[in-house]
Amino acid sequence: MKKHLESLIHSAIETLQGDGVLPTDLQAKILVERTRDASHGDYASNIALMTAKAAKCSPHVLAEKILAALPDSAQVAKAEIAGPGFINFTLTEATAYAVVGTVLASGEAYGRSAIGDDKPVQVEFVSANPTGPLHVGHGRGAAYGAAVADLLAAVGFKVHREYYVNDAGRQMDILAVSVWLRYLDLCGETLVFPVNGYKGDYVWDIAADLRRAHGDAYRHDAEIVLSNLPADEPEGGDKEQYIDALTQRAKELLGEAAYRQIFDAGLNSILDDIRRDLEGFGVVYEEWFSERSLTESGAVGCAIERLKEAGHLYEKGGAWWFRSSAFGDEKDRVVVRDNGQTTYFASDIAYHMQKLERGFERVIDVWGADHHGYVPRVKAALTALGDDAGRLDVLLVQFAILYRGKEKVPMSTRSGQFVTLRELRAEVGDDAARFFYVMRKCEQHMDFDLELAKSQSSDNPVYYIQYAHARVCSVLRQMAEKGLKHDEKQGLANLPKLTETHEQALLTRLSRYPEVLEAAALNHEPHQLAHCLRDLANAFHTYYNAHQFLVGDAVLRDVRLCLIRAVRQVLANGLNLLGVSAPESM
């Protein structure tokens, strides 16, 4: 409808340009908006205010001229000037009522569109290091990324959801060593666990599995393992140097194959756990992309070569540096360390280069806000490689702070006292967690109230919306119990009987849904959809309280049932896109 009105205005503008009222090189964007106030009609355009200057006349006078040049439309009942020069449109009744039939006919497809034109878009999200279970910070990225992906799919993009598995690098080595040391402990060796090792219980579990499967195959004498190592932190040494030396020792004693087995045992165990966690959360991927595969396939080497050939790398202090400061970054970054190993950044350059080469029109990365400093260097690398960094959107998600009522839930990664996503899911449920995470726009710091998320009352927006859905179902059950039949055809044929203000309000809400969906998708703002659903639920509850649906008048009953079934459909569609269930009873 917006587009229809915009085209009407466009045609009026062209007429005025032909008449010389407006300059032909006019560069105004025609914008039609929903009115905030029902007394302003259904839609409004500020075009006259925008272009008055170019027309060299007052907005009001220009608005009159536009109005005169506006082609007739069967869907517009009236168009009038208001305020400083707005053009307000009021739709015909038939147009307003038509939405009910449209919703019921379209069903699950209502609100979806094809504006994405099947263009391939990649959404990479979560991508947490497989060194431990996901925590509540990752949860927000998961819920947000999944919603963004689903929204884009709903408006016609071909969406590829991807998880980047950081299965290479030092952190993973530390995990492998941690597993091995716990394993040695289980074998009966006595050793002090490094300060910098991963201390979570899951490391013990992996070690225990390893021992069950392989017995003492990887056992080495503790004294040999720990001999001639630099001091760990408690002994006045450097914990980083210590853990690296320990990693080196592990590789020497175990040999490459055995080390790799322990490494993979840790990796696979944690990755499986993450995958199960996300699946339970309703988050699934088309692809789990391995960082290690980038090195093994030579992609990392290739990316480095390309940068080197283009003259964007230089050697300093034994390492190779990328001249990212020449492309807007604060300073240059190392891609190959002095020990010959490539950095995580080097992998990321290769990864993003590949993403674009894989043919995605747009590439979206969802990152935690703590990685924001990383954005310029990745874009710099793409630019240096001759790619269009503009095709990459990095969406930064702020942290969520958990509250239990008024009390802040203590969380600190340092002490390992973080709350896992699994714990959150168990406590508040998947529906509430998914909804709460996307209720706020991603750049907002979020206070996540566990008590509220758990509460089964109208205070809790997710229950409020689900309850509206369940209520419609309940009415339909009541209908059946009373032995009444619903004649949809008769209902749709008599929609003008929906004369109550509450009914009019619902019609507007329903017709708004596709617009909200489109805006939410294109702006990567699922919170818009969340708010829209709350508003719809609110309008429904108000209606429910004010009027009976199962009335004696069969025609009116059919009409009202059509309306509330349409409401139910839209609620279900919207909740589904946010990964929240739409229960028939609660």
Partner RNA sequence: GCGCCCGUAGCUCAGCUGGAUAGAGCGCCACCCUCCGGAGGUGGAAGUCAGAGGUUCGAAUCCUCUCGGGCGCGCCA
Smallest gap, in angstroms, from Cβ of residue 52 to RNA? 7
Residue type, 88: N
Verify binding: residue 323, RNA, rule CB under 7 A.
no
Smallest gap, in angstroms, from Cβ of residue 330 to RNA? 6
From the list 167, 173, 225, the residue with the least C-alpha distance to 196 is 173
From the list 111, 108, 110, 55, the residue with the least C-alpha distance to 85 is 55
- Alpha-carbon distance of 73 to 66, in angstroms, equals 15
Question: What distance lies between CA 584 and its chain's CA centroid?
Answer: 26
Dig out the tokens for 368 from the structure. 């935690």
Residues 147-186 that bind RNA (CB under 7 A): 166, 168-172
Q: Which is nearer to RNA, 312 or 471 (CB)?
A: 471
Applying CB under 7 A, which of residues 245, 396, 554, 556 lies at the interface with RNA? 396
423 and 395 in contact (C-beta within 8 Å)? no
Smallest gap, in angstroms, from Cβ of residue 211 to RNA? 27
**Cβ neighbours around 308 below 10 Å, total:** 16
Verify binding: residue 544, RNA, rule CB under 7 A.
yes
Determine the interface stretch with RNA among 43-51, 96-104, 256-264, 424-432 (rule: CB under 7 A): 43-51
Q: What is the dihedral of CA 307, 312, 313, 314, to 10 degrees?
A: 160
Smallest gap, in angstroms, from Cβ of residue 187 to RNA? 28
Applying CB under 7 A, which of residues 56, 78, 276, 372 lies at the interface with RNA? 372
440 and 396 in contact (C-beta within 8 Å)? no
- Alpha-carbon distance of 395 to 451, in angstroms, equals 29
- Using CB under 7 A, count the residues that bind RNA: 95
Q: Which is nearer to RNA, 33 or 221 (CB)?
A: 33
Stretch (H or E) spanning 552: none
Q: Which is nearer to RNA, 272 or 370 (CB)?
A: 370
Verify binding: residue 461, RNA, rule CB under 7 A.
yes
Left, alpha or beta for 238 (phi > 0: left; psi -120 to 50: alpha)?
beta
The site map against RNA for 53-92 (x = CB under 7 A) is x-----x----------------------xxx-x-x----
> Between β-strands 319-322 and 313-316, what pairing exists: parallel, antiparallel or unpaired?
antiparallel
Verify binding: residue 44, RNA, rule CB under 7 A.
yes
Verify binding: residue 458, RNA, rule CB under 7 A.
yes
Smallest gap, in angstroms, from Cβ of residue 208 to RNA? 25
Applying CB under 7 A, which of residues 528, 533, 559, 580 lies at the interface with RNA? 528
Verify binding: residue 391, RNA, rule CB under 7 A.
no
Total residues belonging to the chain: 586
Residues 416-445 that bind RNA (CB under 7 A): 439-441, 443-445
Look up tokens 């459909």; give the residue: 569
Applying CB under 7 A, which of residues 297, 310, 547, 553 lies at the interface with RNA? 547
Determine the interface stretch with RNA among 9-17, 185-193, 384-392, 457-465 (rule: CB under 7 A): 457-465
Left, alpha or beta for 327 (phi > 0: left; psi -120 to 50: alpha)?
alpha
Smallest gap, in angstroms, from Cβ of residue 132 to RNA? 11
Bridge partners, residue 403, by sequence: 408, 449
Verify binding: residue 394, RNA, rule CB under 7 A.
no
- Alpha-carbon distance of 9 to 3, in angstroms, equals 10
Determine the interface stretch with RNA among 97-105, 112-120, 281-289, 339-347 (rule: CB under 7 A): 339-347
Verify binding: residue 501, RNA, rule CB under 7 A.
no
Dig out the tokens for 138 from the structure. 């990752």
Smallest gap, in angstroms, from Cβ of residue 537 to RNA? 8
Verify binding: residue 337, RNA, rule CB under 7 A.
yes
Phi, psi (rounded to 5 degrees) for 513: -50, -50
* Cα-only R_g, the chain: 30
Verify binding: residue 35, RNA, rule CB under 7 A.
yes
Verify binding: residue 237, RNA, rule CB under 7 A.
no
Smallest gap, in angstroms, from Cβ of residue 476 to RNA? 8
Bridge partners, residue 320, by sequence: 315, 336
Q: Which is nearer to RNA, 211 or 558 (CB)?
A: 558
338 and 317 in contact (C-beta within 8 Å)? yes
Stretch (H or E) spanning 576: helix 554-577
Verify binding: residue 352, RNA, rule CB under 7 A.
no
Applying CB under 7 A, which of residues 221, 279, 305, 330 lies at the interface with RNA? 330
Look up tokens 């290739």; give the residue: 302
Applying CB under 7 A, which of residues 15, 129, 383, 504 lies at the interface with RNA? 129
Q: Which is nearer to RNA, 418 or 549 (CB)?
A: 549
Q: Which is nearer to RNA, 285 or 540 (CB)?
A: 540
Verify binding: residue 399, RNA, rule CB under 7 A.
yes
196 and 243 in contact (C-beta within 8 Å)? yes
Residues 249-308 that bind RNA (CB under 7 A): 291
- Alpha-carbon distance of 15 to 128, in angstroms, equals 57
Q: Which is nearer to RNA, 358 or 445 (CB)?
A: 445
Verify binding: residue 415, RNA, rule CB under 7 A.
no
Smallest gap, in angstroms, from Cβ of residue 177 to RNA? 13
- Alpha-carbon distance of 413 to 199, in angstroms, equals 12
- Alpha-carbon distance of 42 to 512, in angstroms, equals 11
Applying CB under 7 A, which of residues 263, 437, 467, 513 lies at the interface with RNA? 467
